[in-house]
Amino acid sequence: MSDKEFIKIKNVSKKFDDVVAVDDVNIDIAKGEFFSLLGPSGCGKTTLLRILAGFEYPSFGKVLIDNIDVTDITPNLRPTNMVFQNYAIFPHINVKRNIEFGLRKEKLSREELNQRVNDALKMVQLEGYEDRFSNQLSGGQRQRIALARALVKQPKVLLLDEPLGALDKKLREEMQLELRKLQRSVGITFIFVTHDQEEAMTMSDRVAVMNKGQILQISPPKDLYNNPKNLFVGDFIGQINFLESEVKSVDQQNVKVSIKNLGDYTLTYIDNINQGESIVCAIRPETIQITKNNDQIKSDISVKGKISNTSFYGNMTYVYVEIEGIKKPLMISTSDPLEGLTYNSDCFININLKDIRLIKKN
Amino acid sequence: MYKKNNILFLYSILYFAFLYIPVMLLPVFSFNDAIHMVFPLKGFTLKWYDQMIHASRLHQALFNSIKVGVIASIFSTLIALLAAKAFTKYKLRLRQLSYGAILLPFVIPEIIIAVSLIVLWTGMGLQLGLIPVTLSHILFCTPFCMLVLISRMEGFDKNLEEAAMDLGENAWGTFWRVTFPLVLPAIVASLLLSFVISFDEFILAFFLTSNDQTLPLYMWGQLRFPKKLPHVLALGAVIIVATSIIVMLSYWLRNLGNPSGKKNNIGGI
């Protein structure tokens, strides 16, 4: 075993009656990695996490943690601990007894126990909260206690089920940074489930995008954004424009593509494409430049359009441009809202070929 | 601040008077030195209490009632606990129908249950007595226990049990360290409620017992003899005090299960 395969999810499927929640998933997760499972609700990410924790038994496949097959091991005997979506702090005992709940089997002395609880509270910056009860804590504090309660067991893997979902935006962003910092300092492998792409992108070493029970792409956040392998991933992560195209010819390095209403262009080869295939050209809104005239900057593609809408976001503005023959207006983001580029005015959009990603249709 | 509303205030006074004056007459007359319950009061005495303490048939009836009540409350709570667990944990087929079926004895007139039970019991050639009374009380109390327990367990967060397992507890440890303490207040409430219901139940006991009397039957029997009335009043006064203590105890226990210091939740037992 190498550290790269610290957790091995092998051909795992889970069916509930006739519904396939998890469909033949294969993932290797490295030791100490911050790994996110990202997808819309109902995509099977929580089911997969619960299979890792042992709360669900896979219909097919195996789970190995640190080279041990844990598929048949019950949750209480697995080297995993979980932070639940609603935190699941025991309401009938105080914070201190919540945190030491899982340490009973370790037969520690009173001093050792106190030390461990103190260290855990210090780690989540809630020293002095020992005697509080769950309903005397805020959402953010509960979340930290849940984290401390799980980490005090020193698990090999920490499983987090949308732990930031219930927090307000500011606190959520703060906790994202803190969680990442904490993960680096304890060195425990984190598996983090979320439907929030921003959350997954900002914290993770790698992200697995899931939809309808299947893993669509596993990549570091940057790759996921810059090289989506699939329409769903491209669309789910950030904003993107899709342009209908057709493959004209293919050789070793290049693909000649005809983009509908924009002309023929030569792009870099991607695997498994054939002549005559209909394909999608994906362009991120920030790579498109918008100008008043077509001679202001040099670009590979320059085309005339009309502004159909704008929306202002403070640090940038989204401009929607209608182009003749293209159904959906192109979305362009610019940090420099040019004067005169207002609703219904004419403009030119400029695209460079290096910013176009070819994505196969499924 | 609310504006003081004199009519509502008067209404509240009348409301409490209506509820409590008839009941409060009992203890008042239990200290009255006369056989008949009429004003004016004749003078203070403790002799009715003395009579009560020395009435051996009363002791027997009290003991019977406690015996029936304890057994009935334990069994009906146990049955209801298992049923409530099943109802809240699993998605049962015909859930609504079976829920209704379980709660049905709740709405069937007691006298109907009593008649059908006596026909059934004697039809099987069995002796009437405290055993059929106890069984009928279990039957009668279970729906009440179900209502108390289901309402508590429906709000039970399944994640808490999973969290306990995740933290290393097996099923047994999870039950004792998490499930049981969280459901305990409801169990206690169910026990107390069913005991009180059984303790003052009259119709079923009247039909199904033979020579062994329960306390309500004993009291009813004594009313026919005017001379025996005052010590029944004394007994009634004692029961009022005891019931109040039980209710206060149950509130105290509820707050034990809710140690946050928030003691403002009002509600039945």
ipTM reported for the complex, 2 dp: 0.82
Q: pTM above 0.90?
A: no
- B164 shares contact with chain A (CB less than 8 Å): yes
The pLDDT of residue B162: 92
The answer to the question of residue B100 being in a domain is: yes
Interface test with B, best of A92, A100, A153, A161 (most B CBs within 10 A): A92
Residues 6+ apart with CB under 8 A from B22: none
Beta strands A263-268 and A346-351: pairing type?
A: unpaired
Q: Which helix (H) or strand (E) holds A350?
A: strand A346-351
Contact of B32 with B41, CB cutoff 8 Å: yes
Domain that residue B142 falls in: 57-254
Lowest mean pLDDT among A81-90, A229-238, B38-47, B256-265: B256-265
Q: Distance between CA A200 and CA A360 in Å, rounded?
A: 24
pLDDT band at B266 (very low <50, low <70, confident <90, very high): very low
Tens-digit pLDDT profile for residues A287-330: 998 888 777 788 888 888 999 988 888 888 899 999 988 888 99
Whether domain A241-360 has CATH 3.40.50.300: the reply is: no
Q: Is there a contact between A88 and B167 if contact means CB atoms under 8 Å apart?
A: no
pLDDT (0 to 100) of residue B48: 78
- The encoded tokens of residue B31 equal 């200290």
Q: Kindly report the backbone phi and psi dihedral angles of residue B102, in degrees, each rounded to the nearest multiple of 5, phi listed first.
A: -70, -35
Chain A residue with the nearest C-alpha to that of B177: A101
Question: What is the average per-residue pLDDT within B195-200?
Answer: 88
Does B179 lie at the interface with A, CB-CB under 8 angstroms? no
- pLDDT digit string, tens, across residues B86-132: 887 777 777 788 888 877 877 888 888 889 888 988 888 788 888 88
Q: Report the half-sphere exposure of A332 (CA within 13 A, side-chain side).
A: 28
How many structural domains compose chain B? 1
Q: What is the per-residue pLDDT for A207?
A: 95
Using a CB-CB distance cutoff of 8 angstroms, which residues of chain A are in contact with residue B257? 92
pLDDT in tens, B218-230: 888 888 877 777 7
pLDDT of amino acid B254: 60
Task: Please provide the DSSP assignment of A42-59 as one string.
Answer: TSSHHHHHHHHHTSS--S
Which chain B residue lies closest to A159 (C-alpha atoms)? B166
Radius of gyration of chain B (CA): 23
Confidence at residue A338, expressed as pLDDT on a 0 to 100 scale: 67
Angle at the Cα of A42 (from A157 to A46), degrees rounded to 5? Answer: 10
B166–A92: do the CB atoms touch at under 8 Å?
Answer: no
B33 touching A, CB under 8 A?
no
Residue in B162, B167, B259 nearest the CB of A55: B162
Q: What is the per-residue pLDDT for B253?
A: 66
- Residue B255 has what pLDDT? 60
Say which residue the tokens 């007359």 belong to. B29
Give yes or no for A170 touching B (CB within 8 A). Answer: no
| pLDDT of B31 above 70 | yes
The residues near B165 (Cβ < 8 Å, ≥ 6 apart) are: A55, A74, A75, A76, B171, B174
In a domain, B162, yes or no: yes
Contact A277, A246 (CB under 8 A): yes
Q: Do A135 and B165 touch (CB under 8 A)?
A: no
Task: Give whole-number Cα distances, B229 to A280, B50, B54, B175, in Å.
Answer: 97, 14, 15, 51
Asked if the Cβ–Cβ distance from A92 to B260 is below 8 Å, we say: no
- pLDDT for A146 equals 93
Output phi, psi for A289, to 5 deg.
Answer: -110, 145
CB contact under 8 A, A74 and B166: no
Long-range contacts of A1-5 (CB under 8 A, 24+ apart): A1/A66, A1/A67, A3/A30, A3/A31, A3/A32, A4/A28, A4/A30, A5/A30, A5/A64
Distance CA A304, CA A298 (A): 14
* Architecture of the CATH domain A3-235: 3-Layer(aba) Sandwich (3.40)
- CA B190 – CA B96 distance, rounded (Å): 22
How many CA atoms lie within 13 Å of B73's alpha carbon, on the beta-carbon side?
22
Per the domain annotation, does B147 fall within a domain?
A: yes
pLDDT on residue B257: 53
The upper half-sphere exposure of residue B216, i.e. CA atoms within 13 Å in the direction of its Cβ, equals 16
In chain B, the residue whose alpha carbon lies closest to the alpha carbon of A76 is B168
A residues 56..75 contacting B (CB < 8 A) = 74-75
Instruction: Using alpha carbons, select from A60, A55, A185 the residue that is nearest to residue A123.
Output: A185
Indicate the domain borders of chain A: 3-235, 241-360
Quick one: pLDDT at residue A337?
65
* Per-residue confidence (pLDDT) for residue B74, from 0 to 100: 95
Chain B positions in Cβ-Cβ contact with residue A149 (cut-off 8 Å): 167
The residue among A158 and B156 whose pLDDT is bigger is A158
Collect all residues of chain B within an 8 Å Cβ-Cβ radius of residue A86: 157, 159
pLDDT band at B260 (very low <50, low <70, confident <90, very high): very low
**Tally of residues, chain A:** 362
CA distance A331 to chain B (A): 43
Contact (CB<8Å) A102/B177: no
- What pLDDT sits at residue B268? 42
Q: Is-contact A22 A44, C-beta < 8 A?
A: yes
The C-alpha of B35 sits at a distance from chain A's nearest C-alpha, in angstroms, of: 54
Using CA coordinates, name the residue in chain A closest to B170: A76
B168 and A91 in contact by Cβ < 8 A?
A: no
Instruction: Give residue B1's pLDDT.
Output: 52
Bridge partners of A319?
Answer: A310, A332
Q: How crowded is residue A117: how many other Cβ atoms within 10 Å of its Cβ?
A: 21
Q: Kindly list the residues from chain B whose CB atom is less than 8 angstroms away from the CB atom of residue A81.
A: 166-167
- Comparing B84 with A207, the larger pLDDT belongs to A207
Q: What is the CATH number of the domain that holds B205?
A: 1.10.3720.10
